[in-house]
Structure 1
Amino acid sequence: MAEETKKSASNKEAKSLAVPESATELKPKKESLASGAAGAPLGAVAAAAPTAAELLADENAGKKIVKAKGAKNISVGIAHILSTFNNTNVSITDMQGNVIGWSSAGRVGFKGSRKSTAFAAQQVAQDAARQAMSHGLREVEIRVSGPGSGRESAIRALQAIGLEISTIKDVTPVPHNGCRPRKKRRV
């Protein structure tokens, strides 16, 4: 009996010792956080935080252009940008008109009224350009159609991703008094 009580007492001591050890393990973390926030100079804390350029570099590093499995080795193509009031579509074709890559605001993940924004058009152009560049595309002619807000931002996105732009052409169809236009909006 005496041995059992000694064992149970030693178990209690071990348990009581285990709790302070875990508590002391937590204290240095709390102290280090407190000292970093109050005691350390701001330069040390700011140096640990990544800059915006580093974050963008990491973001772009994950999206490298890799040659597609059935790559067609096309160096020159045509980027067709259709920008309507509600959506933006970008199709990149070779010089004969065969589609190499395409994208739309819905495909990139935008829904509803967000599809008509300039930011959506930028994302659409980048997505289509990545697909085309995986087939070896380096230079494009741009043909813009439609009155939407994503025209300029799509062109800038194609240029920013690294495609060389040879010409920009506006091919918006203009009626010679054909179909009756839709009614005027009353705001």
Structure 2
Amino acid sequence: MNIYDFKARTIDGNEISLEKYKGKVVIITNTASKCGFTPQYEDLQKLYEKYKGQGLEILGFPSNQFAEQEPGSNEEIKSFCTLNYGVGFQMFSKTDVRGAGAHPLFNYLTEQAPFNGFDMNHALGKILKSLLEEKFPETLHGDSIKWNFTKFLIDGEGNVSGRYEPTTSPADMEQDIEKLLQQNPK
């Protein structure tokens, strides 16, 4: 099994097979428009622009499961991403990424790449951990998605290569992305 076994609905409402991304290096991330990590859209877009010609794809899955930080409709989310961050990578319909209603893709991703903690050196690392401990302690158990902008790096064969928590900037993934792109010439 790999990511190519899953389908998802784009932000425009079209169901696609992730097999469309076969042979590409892919970042899959859950996103939100009203989060302290929302500026990561900018770094994700920079990575996309820099590496899309070499075979990088980014798949954004908006989710309203974390403090209701993605309340808008798919149309509002698309507009927000385009106007504020110039997002050109593929966005998907609002999706549950944890719990009983989680999209099977995210269950698969979290099974393949367990939670290894937050980067406590990140400006928001301690704040996020304290917030979760105080207000959402159930999210800290197991390997499920803990917060917005959890990122999964997928190799050119559809396998999970790494998991990066919200406290890891997309820019800090660049070396790992380059390594996978070199192993997987387009």
Q: Structure 1 length normalisation: TM-score?
A: 0.25
User: Which one has more relative contact order, counting CA pairs under 8 Å at least 6 apart?
Assistant: 2
Q: Structure 2 length normalisation: TM-score?
A: 0.26
Return the index of the structure with the highest Cα Rg: 1
